[in-house]
Amino acid sequence: MKRIFTALAAALLGLTVSCGGQPTNDVIHGPEATGPAVQIPAESAPPGVDQVVWEELTARLTQELSRTGSAAPAIAVPQGAAGSVTDLRLETDGDDTASLDWSYVNLGDYNLDGLVSAADLTPVGIYFECNTESPNWLEASRADGNGDGYIGLADVTVIGQNYQHRVDGYRIETSDNPGNPLGWLPHAAVPFTTAVLNAEGSRLVFSSGEITLWEGMSYRVAPYADIEPQLEYGPGSNLVTWTGNAPEAPLGLQASDGEFVGRIALSWASVPDASYYLVYRDQPDNEIGLTLSPVYEEYVTGDYGAHEYWVRAGNAIGESGLSDGDTGFSGLAAPTGVTATAGLYADRVELSWEPVDGAEGYEVFRDGGAAPAGLIGDASNWDDTEADLLMRG
Ligand SMILES: [Ca+2]
Ligand SMILES: [Ca+2]
């Protein structure tokens, strides 16, 4: 009967009550000055909260606080699960910068102003008796401090247990040895005032903005409270590790086309972040070697055929895709042991030379002429019936 009256009265007044689902003016602002903890004003309910419910809530909080004694709890940073960020994540943009993003955690701070205080009764009052079936549950859930899917007096108890916990911001910490609790170093500070409310209105989210990261380093965030004369730090969050980027596929692969005898030289453009390169020949899965710099030489003595090559770049994170292929082949050695008869025959000069490995034919030049004086197949002698001769293989 009392609840029916409450709902009617609220409807007449045009106010949100219990689980009405109306947006509230419960906006974020800085932590307010703290007075004695035991003075909870119950006389007039804040807008949107039923007076009877309000009196119930304030009585409950007063009762909770009186359990800890008459003195008001001191301002403190939340510890343990009451202050541990659990959703820290790293958003990378492909280079060495990234942002760290996480949600605010300060158990009992339902109005999201950084401090657990009597002001956090207001969201409990506004969303009183909401549950997970309520259409505005996402918004209401910020007041579900005990996490039971219902907004009720038990969530006031949570305020009492965490009373005067304050978060003034987060410190981003970094370590190259996260297993060592003393190995964490400060990296950057993110003040509480930079937080923004998420789209559902259920939590505050923080972002580091773009920061420079170091490969292999781990990061975490810890809440702090500026408690004179020093900063007090809360628990470290889940940690994230910057592993860097896998390199891009190499560009500009060139395999030599006969410039070198007995070998094929490969070169390509150096790839950022690459710590090694793999070389493939004839088939894209036929790996033939690894090199730390963007050059590679394959010795192909006795092999004058054309070969296709590919390369890929790699580092500790991973390997790139294959480069475009390029074809290369070994050059032939110059002929040696060239002899020419001198006046032995009246009608000709007889030439001979050592056969060149891999040669399928020879061009013979006479008197330094630009054009061959003769073209012959796989032979190692030739008769010039016209003049003195030069030759090359
Ligand atoms: Ca608060
Ligand atoms: Ca609850």
Write the pLDDT tens digit of every residue in 227-257.
Answer: 988 999 999 999 998 877 788 999 999 999 9
Predicted pLDDT of residue 2: 40
CB-based neighbours (< 5 A) of ligand 1, an ion: 109, 111, 113, 115, 120
> Does the pTM of the predicted model rise above 0.75?
no
Give a yes or no: residue 249 inside a domain: no
Specify whether 297 is located in the same domain as 180. Answer: no
Specify whether 293 is located in the same domain as 371. Answer: no
138 CA distance to ligand 2 centroid (A)?
A: 13
Specify whether 175 is located in the same domain as 305. Answer: no
Predicted pLDDT of residue 336: 86
Mean pLDDT of 115-124: 95
Ligand having the closest approach to the CA of 118: 1
Over 80: is that where the pLDDT of 259 sits? yes
Q: SS3 of 10, please?
A: helix
The total of other beta-carbon atoms located within 10 Å of residue 170's CB is: 29
16 CA distance to ligand 2 centroid (A)?
A: 19
CB-based neighbours (< 5 A) of ligand 2, an ion: 144, 146, 148, 150, 155
158 CA distance to ligand 2 centroid (A)?
A: 9
Ligand having the closest approach to the CA of 159: 1
CA-to-CA distance for 49 and 57, rounded, in angstroms? 10
Specify whether 89 is located in the same domain as 181. Answer: yes
CA-to-CA distance for 140 and 136, rounded, in angstroms? 6
Give a yes or no: residue 36 inside a domain: yes
Instruction: Give how far Cα 381 sits from Cα of 51, 153, 340, 372, Å.
Output: 117, 109, 10, 15
Query: pLDDT > 70: what percent of the chain?
Result: 85
Give a yes or no: residue 6 inside a domain: yes
Q: What is the amino acid identity at position 340?
A: A
Specify whether 327 is located in the same domain as 364. Answer: no
Among 117, 143, 164, residue at a domain's last position: 164
40 CA distance to ligand 2 centroid (A)?
A: 21
Q: SS3 of 67, please?
A: helix
CATH label of the domain that carries residue 208: 2.60.40.10
Residue 147: closest CA among 111, 195, 108, 204: 108
- Of 11-20, 187-196, 356-365, which has the strongest mean pLDDT? 187-196
Write the pLDDT tens digit of every residue in 184-214.
Answer: 999 999 999 999 999 888 899 999 988 887 7
Write the pLDDT tens digit of every residue in 267-311.
Answer: 999 998 899 999 999 999 999 999 999 999 999 888 889 999 999
| Number of domains into which the chain is organized | 4
State both tokens at 112.
Answer: 């999201």
Predicted pLDDT of residue 212: 81
Ligand having the closest approach to the CA of 145: 2
Over 50: is that where the pLDDT of 371 sits? yes
Over 80: is that where the pLDDT of 183 sits? yes
159 CA distance to ligand 2 centroid (A)?
A: 11
Predicted pLDDT of residue 281: 96
Question: C-alpha 189: how far from its chain's center?
Answer: 20
Listing DSSP states for 212-247 in one string gives E--TT-EEEEEEEEEETTEEEE------EE----PP
Over 70: is that where the pLDDT of 392 sits? no
Among 331, 351, 375, residue at a domain's last position: 331
150 CA distance to ligand 2 centroid (A)?
A: 4
62 CA distance to ligand 1 centroid (A)?
A: 16
Domain that residue 307 falls in: 254-331
Specify whether 85 is located in the same domain as 159. Answer: no
Predicted pLDDT of residue 16: 44
115 CA distance to ligand 1 centroid (A)?
A: 4
Predicted pLDDT of residue 42: 67
Give a yes or no: residue 294 inside a domain: yes
Exposed, middle or buried: residue 125 (CB in 10 Å: 0-12, 13-18, 19+)?
A: buried
123 CA distance to ligand 2 centroid (A)?
A: 12
204 CA distance to ligand 1 centroid (A)?
A: 12
Predicted pLDDT of residue 3: 41
Mean pLDDT of 86-99: 82
Ligand having the closest approach to the CA of 141: 2
Cα dihedral 190, 192, 196, 201 sign? positive
